[in-house]
Every structure is written in C-alpha cells, then in structure tokens.
Amino acid sequence: MADLFEDKADDWDERPVPTQISTGVVGALRRTLTFEPDWTVMDFGAGTGLLSGAIAPDVDKIFAVDISQAMLARLVEKPALAGKVEAFCQDIMHTPLDRKVDLVVSAMALHHVEDTAALMKTLFEHLEPGGRIALADLDREEGDFHPPGAEGVFHHGFDREALGEVIARAGFGETRFVTATEVHKEDKAYPVFLVTARKPS
C-alpha cells in the first residue's frame, strides 16, 4: 500500500492547518472529557503525534495507530513521547490490536476510511466496557477542503446526524457532538466537530 503521507511527514508539524486543528481538538477534548491517569488510549490515525503529544502527560499509555510509516517515524522521534507512546503501522480493520483501550481519540482520520460503519464496529471492539470514543473530523463540505484529485479521501466531511446513527448502530450510547474548531482556507470556513460516545459497561 502506498504511503500517501510520505512527502508530507517532514514538515507536517509546521503546517498551519494541522496545527490549528490539533489545537482546537485538544481544547475540545479537555472540555468534554476528564482524562484519568491510568487510562490506555488509542490515537487512531495518529500521524506525527500532534494529538498524542498533547494528551500523553494525562494518561498512562498511548497506542499510536496509522498506516503511514513516514508519519509514525516522526512521532517516535519525539523525546516527550518516549516510553509513553507505542506506534503501530497497521490497518486495525484488517489486523486488530491484541489489546483493549479505555479511550479512542482521532483527528481528521475518519474521512480517509471508506467504510465508516465497519470502522465504528472496529473501534467498539477495541474498547474496554465503558470505554469511549472521541473523534474529530470535518462537517459536511463541498469537496474543496482537499486539493482536486487528492488520494485517500473517501468523504467530504460528515453529516452529524447521519454519523451519529452509524455510531449508534455500532453499539455506542451517549453520543454527543460539539464544534471543536473552524479552519479557514482561502476565505472559506470549515467547521470541525468532535463526537464522543460510550461503549456500555
């Protein structure tokens, strides 16, 4: 499988849009969840670790999952994540992790997964009873957020109500949406939501 982020990894952390999104999502996470120091967390679509790096001090362990080896290589180089974050370059929908987590976080990875329903079921199976998801992505947009012909983009954002129904069908309850941030590109605003939900105990 081609690494679609290989040419983006080196300067990803310096790009304004990923930085703005991660800052907004982290703020929304902190307003929405109370992190517990004994939690094990999966960062789905972890990239270079912008999200993992922000929450690592508040939890016990993070499993950083991504299918881009180049992005994960940048993540594991960060001294602040040493001993705290373990990287997995694999598609968990086909090769699940052999462990459960208390929380799954994600920022801007959902639109790269074609089968959203299958993904939600996969995340559900990776959670301990009572575990939570906290997933951020674009609200439905007209298809101009990414450059024309961008590879690996299967969804132009998501309708919140429709996504909530997919999450419920996977078995989750207590679904809640908030607006995490708003990205401005070329005089256009793109809202980014954070959806949280809980696996029954």
* Of 3-17, 83-97, 164-178, highest mean pLDDT: 164-178
* Of 52-56, 67-71, 166-170, highest mean pLDDT: 166-170
Mean pLDDT score of the chain, rounded to an integer? 90
In sequence order, what are the residues at sequence separation of 6 or more whose Cβ sits closer than 8 angstroms to the Cβ of residue 2?
Answer: 151
pLDDT, position 1: 46
Q: Categorize the per-residue pLDDT at 152 as very low, low, confident or very high, splitting at 50, 70 and 90.
A: confident
Average pLDDT over residues 97-125: 96
If we measure between CA atoms, which residue out of 111, 169, 116 comes closest to residue 138? 111
pLDDT reading at 79 higher than 80: yes
Q: Please tell me the pTM assigned to this model.
A: 0.90
Average pLDDT over residues 140-147: 86
Token duo for residue 2: 């081609």
pLDDT reading at 19 higher than 90: no
In sequence order, what are the residues at sequence separation of 6 or more whose Cβ sits closer than 8 angstroms to the Cβ of residue 136?
Answer: 21, 25, 28, 106, 107, 108, 180, 192, 193, 194, 195
pLDDT, position 9: 52
pLDDT, position 8: 57
Q: Categorize the per-residue pLDDT at 6 as very low, low, confident or very high, splitting at 50, 70 and 90.
A: very low
* Of 10-14, 36-40, 141-145, 149-153, highest mean pLDDT: 36-40
Domains of the chain, start order: 9-198 (3.40.50.150)
Instruction: Give the span between the Cα atoms of 25 and 39, in whole angstroms.
Output: 19
Instruction: Give the span between the Cα atoms of 87 and 93, in whole angstroms.
Output: 16
Higher pLDDT, 82 or 101: 101
